[in-house]
Amino acid sequence: MLFILYTSGTTGKPKGIMHTTGGYMTGVFATTQWVFDLQDKDIFWCTADVGWVTGHSYIVYGPMANGATQVIYEGSPDFPEKNRFWKIIEKYKVTVFYTAPTAIRAFMKWGTQWPEGCDLSSLRLLGSVGEPINPEAWVWYHEFIGRNNCPVVDTWWQTETGSIMIAPLPAITALKPGSATMPLPGIDVKVVDEHADEIKVGGGYLVLTSPWPSMLRGIYGDPERFKQTYWNKWKGHIYFTGDGAKKDKDGYYWLLGRVDDIMLVAGHNISTMEVESALVDHPMVAESAVIGATDDVKGQAIVAFVTLKEGQKAMADIEEILKQHVVEKIGAIARPRRIILTADLPKTRSGKIMRRLLRDVAEGRALGDVTTLADAAVVSNLKERYSDKEG
């Protein structure tokens, strides 16, 4: 045993993921070299909270096992000003920068003047981690942080996998904005349907079909939950990631987020990420979080929580404008029932949006566990405002 790291379950009951020394270290050591093309002269900066798995794998164990020179920072990206990250990159000549789509969308919201006022010419590689990155954020990141000169390595992995599973190899893999591209060497990934039959082109469940060095070794104190959660959906040795994905004709993988976040609207499967990406595509929108709320007629109805870019004022018909934008991007079936404007979204310290709590808000339930939130007041305020609007 190396460590136990707790990750939230869909029920709100945390799972203690167990990782072992040899296997985990092999995974993070190799993937740090491969994905970040780590060189002796690099200054590496992963902005994750060190207590989150990304902090374990790509601040503590992976880079240090490789002897990397690192910047380690624990603090806000907007204090004393919204150029805090860019000032750090300028000062320490950071070459490899690894951050979350949530942070990137916050940077987009704040405006381009902050990175444009700093010298970011030392950067040669950008990374993304934590959730699927929408193409708009990918392009912004590439243009305004990488100055169109840095490959963006979008990475898919989990607390449970220990190290990166799907990602481009810099200067080798052709990039597609919004796609994590292809599995790393030795990683066997498939997209399958309900019967575990492989889907060559199209969407379904993302699964892993053979072991890998850094895989979890169990859930601490609960071996039965370990089997039920990851191994019992299908017969045979198939690891169920809990994520949905699409595979295109070129063999590239496009992550859709948690299967729990696939909405069934009037018989149609719609990914929350697809609707969120459509909303963020609108020039006024900085960030969005979409959930499926119970609906007596459609089964589920789409509810979107939206944050506007700084300086944007909400016009009277903004809700209708955004609903129509989603219709134009995806189709009428994806039209949100309601759009709620909010200054902030409920997030963990690692930057993940807690959609489970947004479902509680939308369905009028008592709020679930909020102990992992960076600011618990955000969701309380949303609940109050949503109730007023419903009334």
The angle at the Cα of 286, spanning 116 to 95, to the nearest 5 degrees, equals: 40
Alpha-carbon span 96 to 45, nearest angstrom:
6
Which whole-number Å values give the CA distances from 47 to 108, 164, 171, 173, 183, in the listed order? 17, 16, 23, 24, 24
Q: Does the pLDDT of residue 391 top 50, yes or no?
A: no
Q: In this predicted model, what pLDDT tens digit does every residue of 264-319 receive, in sequence order?
A: 787 777 888 889 989 999 999 999 999 988 877 777 889 999 999 988 888 889 99
CATH at residue 73: 3.40.50.12780
Alpha-carbon span 127 to 368, nearest angstrom: 32
Domain encompassing residue 339:
266-390
Spell out where 193-328 has E strands. Answer: 202-208, 239-247, 253-258, 262-265, 268-271, 285-295, 299-308
Domain membership of residue 248 (yes or no) is no
Per residue in 196-207, pLDDT (tens digit) is: 999 999 989 999
pLDDT tens digits, residue range 141-183?
A: 999 999 999 999 999 999 999 999 999 999 999 999 999 999 9
306, 373: one domain: yes
For the chain, report the end-to-end CA distance as a whole number of angstroms: 53
- 171 and 291: one domain? no
Are residues 329 and 225 part of one domain? no
Encoded tokens for 5: 């790291």
pTM: 0.81
Gyration radius from the chain CA atoms? 20
Instruction: Give the integer Cα–Cα distance in Å for 12 and 255.
Output: 23
222 and 274 share a domain? Answer: no
Residues 6+ apart with CB under 8 A from 96: 36, 37, 38, 42, 43, 44, 45, 123, 124, 125, 126, 127
Mark whether 33 and 151 lie in a shared domain: yes
